[in-house]
Amino acid sequence: MSTVVVTGTQWGDEGKGKIVDYLAQQADTVVRFQGGANAGHTVVVDGEAYKLRLMPSGILFKGSHCVVGNGVAFDPKVMLQEMDSLASRGIDLSGIRISNRAQVVLPYHRLMDGLGDEARGKNKVGTTKNGIGPCYVDRDNRIGIRVCDLVEKETFAQKLKENLAVKNRELALLYDHAPLDYDEILKEYEGYADRLRPYVCDTIALLDEEIKAGRKILFEGAQATMLDIDYGTYPYVTASHPVSGGVGVGCGVAPQKIDKVIGIVKAYCTRVGEGPFPTEQLNETGNRLREIGHEYGVVTGRPRRTGWLDACVVRYAGILSGIDYMAVTRLDILDDFDTIQMCTGYRYQGKLLNEIPASLKVLSEVEPVYETFAGWKTDITKVRKYEDLPKEARVYLERMAEVTGIRLGIVSVGPNRDETIVLANDIF
Ligand code: IMP
């Protein structure tokens, strides 16, 4: 048995794609279990950047099975765009497997995501407008259309007819919006179904077989702990479960079948969209982090909010996901800073807090307790061994491990596959 979950510990964009791609070199199968085209993973291979949204990052590694699990809000349009783009760059697509139980994103989901969020005015979540929330709402309301329905011509036509009648009424009544055209959507989605049918299967059975055969499986989380629908800064969250527990329900793999959990920790912190962010730096430091780190959304192009590492959040992620090792990413972005700060606690009304407050009022009023570290002021991108990192960098990393209670497993010092320091040799 060799199964590894990769989960984000902050607000997403931690560089999961790079670590997943790195680990995928050893994996037989890479699985997405939640989220959808709202994710944006940039993976750099041989100096070439690939931007993936729905496709498991393992696609860039020859011979991998790439599974889209049932917990994914599956957008066939985006999937096919990604498949076409990858095929035009010579990537082999034969390993793709799409769960027949995944929920399908339809045009009304995308439209209503945008209209609904705008209608909240100053309370908007700032969603990526990919229809993720509305797609999961339909699932929970038991009117969703699944991939198994999409590939059955008559079932899809019938379900679309019923759903669209309701959605068009909602569009008119709530948003004064013109109706969407049934025939147009039907034709578009029948075309998608024809192209995707060969890749659709029961991924539960597939994963069960692979686990029993001792194959190496990597579960690739999208988004991150603080965006989890239950554990994040609700309501400023996504609509799925990026924590490791999401694997169980998101692809039908039982908890005791999971061997290891790797938490991705960006060496500083970013967030896209609205919601509290205690260590945010609305100043020159924040601007420098954004510019040096090119912190702009892969999917939306939005400038990301930036700040210092919040070790409280990472500790929380460690508890929630049972993280065995941290993979610290983008350490090189801090190469030029004279000093670096890390938040190691929250103070609220004069008292130190022991946990992440559920109340957004409290979370937005906490005062981060910072520790200051000397910068290393050296280019670390060529370093391949932990002991060759500058002492200041090691001090920063070791304090991170101490405060969060999670061991260091990987340190990434650049975007390329080889710009990686591995401390843990027992991940797979
Ligand atoms: P949704 O997932 O599109 O519904 O957006 C909900 C919130 O999650 C918004 O604040 C988004 O900016 C955020 N979000 C969704 N996906 C990602 C991601 O991959 N990285 C960072 N933030 C994300």
pLDDT tens, position by position, 205-262: 999 999 999 999 999 999 999 999 999 999 999 999 999 999 999 999 999 999 999 9
Q: Cβ atoms within 10 A of the Cβ of 23, count?
A: 23
- Per-residue pLDDT, 22: 86
176 contacts 197 by C-beta, under 8 angstroms: no
Mark 121-152 as b/e (b = at least 16 C-beta within 10 Å).
eeeebebbbbbbbbbbbbbeeeebbbbbbbbe
Nearest CA to ligand 1 atom 19: 39
Angle (nearest 5°) at CA 346 between 342 and 349: 145
Respond yes or no on whether the N-terminal peptide bond of residue 56 is cis (omega within 30° of 0): no
Catalytic pick among 13, 21, 149, 332: 13
Distance 384 CA to ligand 1 centre (A): 33
Distance 2 CA to ligand 1 centre (A): 30
Pocket test for ligand 1, best of 11, 38, 360 (most atoms within 8 A of CB): 38
- Atom index in ligand 1 nearest the CA of residue 41 equals 19
- Atom index in ligand 1 nearest the CA of residue 35 equals 2
Fill in the DSSP letter of residue 121.
G
Pocket test for ligand 1, best of 53, 123, 272 (most atoms within 8 A of CB): 272
Task: Enumerate residues lining ligand 1, CB below 6 A.
Answer: 12-13, 38-40, 125-128, 130, 132-133, 222-223, 227, 236, 238-239, 272-273
Query: Which of 305, 104, 80, 124 has its CA nearest to residue 186?
Result: 104
Nearest CA to ligand 1 atom 5: 127
> Is 13 an active-site residue?
yes
- Per-residue pLDDT, 21: 84
3-state secondary structure of 400: helix
Measured CA to CA, the distance from residue 412 to residue 328 in angstroms comes to 6
- Atom index in ligand 1 nearest the CA of residue 274 equals 10
- Rounded to 10 degrees, the C-alpha dihedral 389/225/299/106 comes to 150
- Per-residue pLDDT, 94: 95
Nearest CA to ligand 1 atom 15: 38
The 8 Å CB, 24+ separation contacts for 139-148 are: 139/103, 144/103, 144/104, 145/103, 145/104, 145/106, 146/100, 146/101, 146/102, 146/103, 146/104, 147/74, 147/98, 147/99, 147/100, 147/101, 147/102, 147/103, 147/104, 147/196, 147/200, 148/100, 148/101, 148/200
3-state secondary structure of 43: strand
- Per-residue pLDDT, 1: 54
pLDDT in tens, 83-103: 999 999 999 999 999 999 999
Catalytic pick among 21, 41, 75, 138: 41
Low-confidence ranges of the chain (pLDDT < 50): none
- How buried is 53 (Cβ within 10 angstroms: 0-12 exposed, 13-18 middle, 19+ buried)? buried
- Atom index in ligand 1 nearest the CA of residue 132 equals 4
Query: What's the Cα-to-Cα distance from 207 to each of 79, 82, 247, 250, 253, rounded to whole Å?
Result: 21, 23, 12, 12, 8
- Per-residue pLDDT, 258: 97
3-state secondary structure of 152: coil
- Per-residue pLDDT, 41: 81
- Per-residue pLDDT, 410: 98
- Per-residue pLDDT, 18: 86
Distance 271 CA to ligand 1 centre (A): 9
Distance 91 CA to ligand 1 centre (A): 27
Measured CA to CA, the distance from residue 36 to residue 132 in angstroms comes to 7
329 contacts 419 by C-beta, under 8 angstroms: no
Query: Which of 44, 160, 68, 72 has its CA nearest to residue 108?
Result: 160
pLDDT in tens, 23-57: 988 899 999 999 999 988 877 777 888 889 999 98
Pocket test for ligand 1, best of 54, 113, 223 (most atoms within 8 A of CB): 223
Distance 55 CA to ligand 1 centre (A): 17
H helices present in 33-92, as ranges:
76-88
3-state secondary structure of 392: helix
Distance 183 CA to ligand 1 centre (A): 31
Distance 237 CA to ligand 1 centre (A): 7
Query: What's the Cα-to-Cα distance from 117 to each of 47, 125, 229, rounded to whole Å?
Result: 37, 6, 16
Helix (H) or strand (E) holding 269: strand 269-271
